[in-house]
A and B are shown apart, each in its own frame.
Chain A
Amino acid sequence: MRFTPTELTEAELHLQREVREFLSEELPPGSHEPCLGMAARKDKDFSLKMAARGWVGMALPKEWGGSDRTAVDRFIVVEEMLRWGAPVGHHWVADRQTGNVILKFGTEEQRERFLPAICRGELGFSIGMSEPDSGSDLASVSTKAERASDGWIINGTKIWTSGAHENDWFVCLLRTSPMEDGNKHAGLSQLLIDLKSPGLEISPIPFLDGSHHFNEVTFNEVFVPDTNVVGDLGMGWHQNTTEMAYERGGPDRWLSPFSTVEQLLREAQGTDLEDTVTELFGELVARWWGVRNLSLSVARLIDTGEAPSVESSLVKEMGTRYEQEVVEKLVHLIDLEYSPDSDSLFERLLAQCVVTFPGNTIRGGTIEILRSVASKGLKGLPT
């Protein structure tokens, strides 16, 4: 494990300036209700505008509608979007992971069918992993795909499926052959499933604050054609693990409370800050600077062709806990009785952080699972 310090090249700094200019025009600071990280509003128009700049699916090859940009370039765009609180919800999953999965494991026909549409910002994807009885123990999924002519018949239930009620497709991890004794990782496959398929029922699971992100997706004899199988049959576990590496360690795992902190400073400007609040800002910029450098070095490592799964798990485990720590520090220091309907934007954001951030250390793999992944890769003393 080694996180090598890296820095942005002139061309990368140019991209950063471009993104900042775009956001200053589209979402002038102080004029919009920022989103808190990747659980952002879905705003298809905004996604289309980003896509027109080449910033959706940007690391995908040009021949499939992408821009052949690097993981670091994507890091820069994502980082700016998130710290701005931009409404990136519509294209988020497709841009972060589904596009990569289809590129890496999909057929030519699937690439043709999905990648250009992803890069145009048109398609929204959900993730079909968890089931009622399979959360952290993901390999125990039991939703079955059974052979039919030219395809598969699916029965079972997926759960916690964010955005299924608004998105177009999801990639599901399904059991395509019965569980073998002692090898639960075998017999799993990834299938692309149209969320409008007949027999597929989507029911909301209201989030604790009443908002609608989560769904339960029930399959009742849903037909999926052979042409929607991603990669090789039975290789789903391996593909899914690869997919997770894209999901971890990026700015979405440590930037979620940034808009809240920035808004505190905006609202406090011109007032005399207590020393403890000034010190908190000092502490936060230092730590964010450090964590960002770690996360950036992971992106740079990906560009050298490595799959830094230990490094990205370490960053995600640390980053998501840090997000919660930031909120706790704000709550501790700022002596206000904030609520979701406060007049102050800062107070509204803080209330939202308090209520929703317990999920940050759960989504995309709990920190307990991440610790288990990361600790296997840790090295002791050199011998």
Chain B
Amino acid sequence: MTEDILVDPLVTETAHRLFSEICDHESIQAAEAKGQAPEIWDAFAETGFPWISIDEDAGGSGGSLLDALEVLRLVGYHAAPIPAAETGILGGWLLASSGQELPDGITTVVPNGGEALTGSAAGTEVTISGRALRVPWARVAQRIVVPLVIEEQTVIASVDGAQCDIEPMTNMAGEPRDTVTFENVRVPLALAAPGVDLEAFRFRGALSRAALMAGAIEKMSQLTVSYTNDRVQFGRPVAKFQAVQQHLVWGAQDAALARMVAETAAREATRGVAQFEIAAAKLVANQAAARATKACHQAHGAMGMTQEYPLHHLSRRLWSWRKEYGGDAEWSKWLGKIAVSQGADRLYPLITGGSAALN
């Protein structure tokens, strides 16, 4: 154990209160229909929360990465329909680490920028072309950040949304995941700081999703406990039936597991190198999401299959987030290669020591 790293309790309390006030079933539903939620975003942005963990010198709100991830956990818990991860620890981080200005409004990021787009550098400019898929909230973004490799260097392009053609698309939760076409878009050349590259970005994306998923699974588990205690059949709350208790217990276990791995990965990432923890956290959260959505839906019966009941805000997000920044196969392959390369005698030390055991 090196020094203790703890979440600022004020962050938890304030974010929780804020979302409890502004993010209810109707507002989430409305955001899905409209493809945006300006009232929720504005209230969120006013607190400075989107830019936690980015230095104040760079235009951020200061604070630790751990605090930023705690906010994301609560975004997930409340199913807040806003690009919190994209504006802050992903897009904002890329901009700040390449010495570029942070916009006041929404920033998004091309999740697989380096693969989808081609870029060329000439003098102090970069020209980008190609079609990027599944860009979160591009339609309302002030800046679209593209991390890509040009001549073996990681370049962070900050593109004005108006310079691109944006076709609205969504994920399974109805969250904007737009197709963005870049046609010879020219922006100033900015290089990423050492240590910031496409791999680091991939891991950070996975870390953001693990935090969101931990929040969503926890809320889903609580919702299910409440519902089954209220719902009466055969003359008693269905939560009293052993067959239903099984689903409640399974949901609660996966909520605890997902939160544990997300918080542990967050702690290690705040300290420094945490590739093992992040990969493991995303994989465990993916699988926890699969099991927990199944258990919680089953316990809800038909009610959980309706739009009027809020379970789907959580379950549909979880099904979507499970596939973002690496599904089960990507991370189990990455972790499997590490485990196998460690060999039998180092296998358990890897489980207890994580990234630290790899040094």
- On A, residues with C-beta under 8 Å from B are 1, 3, 5, 7-10, 13, 16, 29-30, 79, 83, 258, 261-263, 265-266, 269, 273, 275, 277-294, 297, 311, 314, 317-318, 368, 370-372, 374-375, 378-382
Contact = CB atoms under 8 A, between A and B. Distances in A.
A283 B335 contact: yes
A262 B252 contact: no
Contacts of A29: 344-345
B336 A281 contact: yes
Contacts of B249: 314, 317, 370-371, 374-375, 378
8 contacts: A3-B256, A16-B352, A279-B333, A286-B279, A286-B335, A289-B261, A291-B257, A381-B222
Contacts of A279: 329, 332-333, 336
Please list the 4 inter-chain residue pairs (A to B) with the smallest Cβ-Cβ separation, ordered nearest first: A282-B336, A380-B226, A282-B335, A278-B336
Nearest to A370: B249
Interface in B206-256: 219, 221-223, 225-227, 229, 239, 242, 245-246, 248-249, 252-253, 256
A261 B344 CA distance: 9
Contacts of B229: 380
Contacts of A16: 352
Given A287-B287, A375-B249, 20 more contacts: A30-B344, A79-B352, A262-B344, A262-B348, A269-B344, A279-B332, A282-B283, A282-B332, A283-B283, A285-B280, A285-B339, A286-B331, A287-B284, A293-B260, A374-B252, A375-B248, A378-B221, A380-B223, A381-B223, A381-B226
A3 B351 contact: no
A259 to B, nearest CB: 10
A286 B248 CA distance: 24
Interface residues of B, number: 54
B227 to A, nearest CB: 8
Nearest to B244: A375
B253 A317 contact: yes
A281 B277 CA distance: 15
B340 interface: yes
Interface of B: 1, 219, 221-223, 225-227, 229, 239, 242, 245-246, 248-249, 252-253, 256-257, 259-261, 263-264, 267, 276-277, 279-281, 283-284, 287, 328-329, 331-340, 343-345, 347-348, 350-352, 354
A261 B339 CA distance: 11
A39 B136 CA distance: 52
Given A282-B335, A314-B252, A273 B340 contact: yes
B245 A372 contact: yes
Contacts of B329: 279
A354 B222 CA distance: 36
Contacts, number: 154
B339 A281 contact: yes
A3 B242 CA distance: 24
Contact of A5 (B222, B264, B343, B344): B264
Contacts of B223: 380-381
Contacts of A277: 336
Nearest to B264: A5
B253 A265 contact: no
Secondary structure dominating the interface of A: helix
A290 B252 CA distance: 15
Contacts of A317: 249, 253
Contacts of A285: 280, 335, 338-339, 347, 350-351
B248 A278 contact: no
Contacts of B242: 368, 371-372
Nearest to A266: B344
Contacts of B239: 375
Given A282-B334, A285-B280, A290 B1 contact: no
Contact of A9 (B1, B267, B284, B340): B1
B327 to A, nearest CB: 12
Nearest to B285: A290
B340 to A, nearest CB: 6
A281 B219 CA distance: 30
Contacts of A371: 242, 245-246, 248-249
A8 B340 contact: no
Contacts of B345: 29, 266
B248 A378 contact: yes
A169 B276 CA distance: 46
Which of B226, B245, B267, B276 is the most central at the interface, judged by chain A CB atoms within 10 Å of its CB?
A: B245
Which of B246, B252, B277, B329 is the most central at the interface, judged by chain A CB atoms within 10 Å of its CB?
A: B252
B203 to A, nearest CB: 14
A281 B339 CA distance: 7
B160 to A, nearest CB: 40
B335 A281 contact: yes
A335 to B, nearest CB: 18
Nearest to A311: B256
Nearest to B288: A290
Contacts of A297: 260
B351 A278 contact: no
A258 B333 contact: no
Contacts of A79: 352
Contact of A379 (B225, B338, B347, B348): B225
Given A380-B222, A380-B226, A286 B280 contact: yes
Given A5-B267, A380-B225, A381-B226, A282 B337 contact: yes
A377 B344 CA distance: 39
B251 to A, nearest CB: 9
B249 to A, nearest CB: 5
A282 B348 contact: no
B344 A283 contact: no
Nearest to A261: B347
Contacts of A286: 261, 279-280, 283-284, 331-332, 335
